[in-house]
Structure 1
Amino acid sequence: MRLFLSDENLVVQGRAFKGFPLLVHKDGTAVEPAQSFLWDVLTANGRAQSPLTWAKYGRDIYDYFAFLDANGLDWQATPDRGMPSIVDWYRDWSKGEIGLDSVTINARLRLVARFYRWAQQMDLIRQLPFRYQVVRVSRTPGFLAHLDASSNMVALPRAMLSQKSALIKFLTMDQVLVCLGVLSNITHRLMFELMVRCGLRQIECRTFPVRYLCDPTKRRDLVPGQMIRLPLSERDMKLKYDKPRAIDVPYDLMEDLWWYAARHRKSRQQAAGAGATSSCLFLTQNGTPYGDTALTDIFADLERRVGFRVRPHMLRHTYGTYTLWKLRKVGFEGEPLLYVRDRMGHSSVSTTSIYLHLINQLGAQLVLQWEDEIDALFGRET
């Protein structure tokens, strides 16, 4: 059993579905009904989701069916009364054998539960292999929270694990300093800075286009210390949900990126050979764009060298927390939460508010020290 992501040759009704997950048996046949479920759920209502969502759903449903296949289990099997279901076995295997955390396991279980509800609607099974329980959940109030008549009561599969509400993971200033100290590769260092100072996702960093750069020293409308607004478009780079937004790039970082493009990137592109072109700012030593797992591998190596956890998304959390604190402290003319939401490309301000909760829990003294040091580190004023 294998999982593949399709190329541009997968075309349905004139539309190419590059990156769509394909679950295939050893004999080349599709893994059904998992494949049909992925197609239905990811193209529901005629609206295809982001390729990032495709890959995530594909990996998660593949993981479940690969578990069943390896253990000779039938996905349609219903448990005897009082006995654990195959979903329970999958949960316990994920926790005990693989060592996944509860958040990851529960995310996969939600998709598995969705698969079984779909199978029931398609008359593929008579009953679900698990039961639901109604629980109260803690939610961040949104703009329409007063319309929530359910009192935050939701139905969840009983197979779900309990999970504590944990603080989001971000880098302290000491950790940022250590990382920068060992990032001798100029390309990796600038990728690190672009994510931690502008809140880019790793896929956005990998596909960030060179055409967005300018030499700020040659622009009369720009002065040192200024933030440079850059509109991001799905026509130029990969954005989650293809949702355009704008980021603010510090003057000194733009200057560093400009000189990187003029010197290091040029030599890397030449390594790809005559006629090879790429719109991406960051290129490998072979002159090619970084692949889907490249930054994960780079950060895994960085993690081993520094001795603490460093993941690409932690840089985005670092940006969100720091920026929100800074704006609140200086009396930003506007709503800080909305500013950070728009810079990070969140669909809802409720997502952005996790950084507000983090700030409140950290305590002012710790965040103030972190803020002063990050300003000194990057040598800028805002």
Structure 2
Amino acid sequence: MRLVLANEKLVVSGRTYEGFPLLLDDKSDAIQPAQRFLWELLLSPGKRNSKDTWAAYGRSLYDYFAFLSANNLDWTANPALGSAGPLVKYRDWSRGELELSPRTVNQRMRIVVRFYVWALETRLIETLPFDKSTIRLNPDPGFASHLNSGDVLTQTPDVLLREPGLSIPFITKEQAKDCLQNISNYTHQLIFQLMLRTGLRQVECRTFPEKYVFDPTRRKDLSIGQKIRISLNPRDMRIKFNKPRDIDIPYDLMEDLFWYASRHRQKRENNVSDDSKFATLFLTETGRPYGKTAFTDIFSRLTSRVNYKVRPHMLRHTYATYLLWSLRKSKDFKGEPLLYVRDRLGHSSVKTTAKYLHLINNLEGHLILQHEDELDKLFSSED
């Protein structure tokens, strides 16, 4: 078995499906009905799944069916009373042999569960290989309580693992300063700053175009200390769900990005081995855009230097946490802080943004109060 992400040559009804997951057996035939499930679920009318979502579904199903194949298990088999079925065996193998976290196991399991629900709906199986348990959700009261309507009953598959209470991983101002001191590469410093101070995802930062950068000192409508509104367009860069949005770049960071683009980036661009030109702002030392796993590697090396975990997405969480905190405290801000942060992050639903409220409400006051001016002070000339 193998998983292949289609190239631009996969065209169906005049549409290109580059990046779509293909599950193939040793004869390069599609593994059914898993492949049919992917087509029907991910490409159904109205769906706006990203290539990353496609890949996640493909990897999870490939992992499950590869496990079944290696252990001669039938995905349709119903477990005998008191014995473990293929789904439970896969779960226990993922947790025990692979030592994956409960959260990671459940993320994969939920996709496989959806496959089984689809198989039941399409009459490929007669019963589901799991039961459902009813649980009661208790939304947090307080700020944005208008989003909640009291206790909510929901059902969850009983094959999922119990997850310990998870907090959103973010870094403090002191850790941010420590990280910057441990990043010697100037390009990597700016990458770190851009994600930390605007909430960009790593794929958005990797593909952030040079043409968005300019010299703010030449704009009479801008002043030092101002936030500069930049409109992100999926035609220019990779954005989740191809959804345009606006971000606010601090004036001093725009100055640094412009200096990088006109000086440092130009030197890197001259190192390219051919005549290729690239639109992305950040280039490697060879003059090419950063690859898909490059930022993960950069942050892994940073983690080893500072001796605590730092991941690219933590910078996005950090930005959202301190921005929401500062806007809630501000007497000058006009509007709904939660909606403003939602728009900057590009969340489809305000309920996704509301998870940061839970983090803020559970942080000890002294921890957050150290950062009333949150992250901008870290980069000011006064520090």
TM-score by length of 1: 0.94
Name the CA distance, whole Å, in 1 between partners of 2:115 and 2:66: 15
Measure how far apart 1:335 and its partner are: 1.0
The residue number in structure 2 matching 1:236 is: 236
Measure how far apart 1:174 and its partner are: 2.2
Alignment of 1:326-345 (within 5 A): 326-331=326-331, 332-345=333-346
1:33 and 2:33 aligned: yes
Name the CA distance, whole Å, in 2 between partners of 1:99 and 1:156: 23
The residue number in structure 1 matching 2:364 is: 363
Of 223-232 and 264-273, more deviation after overlay is shown by 264-273
Name the CA distance, whole Å, in 2 between partners of 1:9 and 1:306: 44
Over 6 Å off, 4+ runs: none
Q: Secondary structure at the match of 1:249?
A: strand
Alignment of 1:159-238 (within 5 A): 159-238=159-238
Q: Aligned in 2, Cα 1:380/1:36: closer, same or farther, shift over 3 Å?
A: farther
Name the CA distance, whole Å, in 2 between partners of 1:365 and 1:23: 51
TM-score by length of 2: 0.94
CA contact (8 A) 1:296 1:312 kept: yes
Unaligned runs of 5+ in 1: none
Measure how far apart 1:108 and its partner are: 1.6
Q: Secondary structure at the match of 2:97?
A: helix
Letter in 2 for 1:268: R
Alignment of 1:217-296 (within 5 A): 217-296=217-296
Q: Aligned in 2, Cα 1:85/1:295: closer, same or farther, shift over 3 Å?
A: same
Q: Kindly, what percent of the aligned residue pairs are identical? A: 54
CA contact (8 A) 1:226 1:250 kept: yes
RMSD, aligned α-carbons: 1.9
CA contact (8 A) 1:245 1:343 kept: yes
Q: How many residues align?
A: 378
Higher fraction of helix: 1
Q: Aligned in 2, Cα 1:373/1:320: closer, same or farther, shift over 3 Å?
A: closer
CA contact (8 A) 2:323 2:374 kept: no
Name the CA distance, whole Å, in 1 between partners of 2:51 and 2:14: 17
Measure how far apart 1:96 and its partner are: 1.4
Name the CA distance, whole Å, in 2 between partners of 1:15 and 1:46: 15
Letter in 1 for 2:275: G
1:379 and 2:370 aligned: no
CA contact (8 A) 1:142 1:350 kept: no
Letter in 2 for 1:354: K
Q: Secondary structure at the match of 1:45?
A: coil
Q: Aligned in 2, Cα 1:305/1:10: closer, same or farther, shift over 3 Å?
A: same
CA contact (8 A) 2:210 2:281 kept: yes
Measure how far apart 1:142 and its partner are: 7.7
The residue number in structure 2 matching 1:321 is: 321
Q: Secondary structure at the match of 1:267?
A: helix
Measure how far apart 1:261 and its partner are: 0.6
Measure how far apart 1:292 and its partner are: 1.5
Per-residue CA deviation, residues 40-63 of structure 1 (Å, 9 max, x unaligned), is 110112645211211111112122
Measure how far apart 1:70 and its partner are: 2.2
The residue number in structure 2 matching 1:102 is: 102
CA contact (8 A) 1:231 1:245 kept: yes
Q: Secondary structure at the match of 1:370?
A: coil
Letter in 2 for 1:377: L
Per-residue CA deviation, residues 286-327 of structure 1 (Å, 9 max, x unaligned), is 222112111112111211222111111100000000111111
Q: Aligned in 2, Cα 1:17/1:106: closer, same or farther, shift over 3 Å?
A: same
